[in-house]
Amino acid sequence: MENTGERHILGCDFVNQADYYIHLMHIASYEYAIKFASFKKVLDYGCGSGYGSFLLAKKAENVIAVDISLEAVEYAKENFASENLIFKEVKDLGYQKFDLITSFQVIEHVPNDKEYIYKLKNLLNPGGILLLTTPDKSNRLFNHIQKPWNIYHLKEYSTKSMNRLLKMYFDNYEILKISSTPELVLHEIQRRKKQRLITLPCTLFFYPNFLRIFLLRLQTKLYRILMKLRNRNNGSSLTLEIQKEAPFSKFTSNDIEISKDPIYPTDLYVICKL
């Protein structure tokens, strides 16, 4: 399965510390969810490569994991099979109820977020729990004037905008934030702030999506050409860059913080209770 960065794949090299932080954040999101999963019927909605569904299955009664991509579903079946875990495409989910639903890094991709939340709510049993994660746009985008610089994202959320959405469907919910020790997380914070500035000319709020995506892809293509030229002149390579950054591997998913108000948040972690 191609590593586009949108479906997290275990075992890939980490280019830098920001990349490694994102990896740990994905793992920690599922590890945090495990405490809600014991002996429960679980749906992992947007399972990607399947590693998180596999983690949930270790504690859950059973897990159904779905994704819009057949390629992702086939990859998950091949790499993360378990007796109490079923992978399938979203279109084959059918109608059933679950005690816990996880949907991590998905909502920013959906065309209709209201329909998405409504659908997931209706898949919960009474007393069920819905867990969501999504990037916190507060340090990713200039407010009011910028659309997402990630070409796969249709919309990004602040605590305020997420709160407006959730209160339409849930009376009981909490919005936590994901972060880490400054030594680890500040690399990702700095990367995001740099991205929002560099990509601003391509992501102005009044651009239609097709133009935004075209400009971002053009910018990325030009950047890669310039990097190849620079590396050729300097005799450097990506492999050397990876080796240079190796000390960040001292961090683990235990270093990821999920709390109400961390100093350096990168993502939102939403807990909705029916």
Q: Which SS3 state, helix, strand or coil, does residue 174 take?
A: strand
Average pLDDT per consecutive 10 residues, the chain (274 residues; last block may be shorter) = 62 80 96 96 97 96 96 95 96 93 98 97 97 96 96 97 97 98 95 96 97 97 88 58 56 95 97 97
Q: CB atoms < 10 A from the CB of 78, how many?
A: 11
Q: How many whole angstroms separate alpha carbon 159 and alpha carbon 143?
A: 13
Would you state the pLDDT for residue 239? Answer: 43
The vertex-219 CA angle with 214 and 222, nearest 5°, equals: 125
Give the dihedral sign, CA 129/178/251/23: positive
Q: CB atoms < 10 A from the CB of 155, how many?
A: 16
Q: CB atoms < 10 A from the CB of 58, how many?
A: 13
Q: CB atoms < 10 A from the CB of 120, how many?
A: 22
Would you state the pLDDT for residue 237? Answer: 46
What's the distance, CA 51 to chain centroid?
13
For 26, residues 6+ apart whose C-beta sits below 8 A from its C-beta are 8, 52, 104, 105
Q: How many whole angstroms separate alpha carbon 234 and alpha carbon 250?
A: 29
The residues facing 65 across adjacent strands are: 44, 87
Would you state the pLDDT for residue 242? Answer: 40
Would you state the pLDDT for residue 107? Answer: 98
Would you state the pLDDT for residue 246? Answer: 53
- Which residue segments constitute the domains of the chain, with CATH numbers given? 17-273 (3.40.50.150)
Q: How many whole angstroms separate alpha carbon 146 and alpha carbon 138?
A: 11
Cα dihedral 154, 158, 160, 162, rounded to 10, equals 50
Give the global pTM.
Answer: 0.90
Packing angle between helix 159-166 and helix 113-122, nearest 10 degrees?
Answer: 50
Q: How many whole angstroms separate alpha carbon 180 and alpha carbon 237?
A: 29
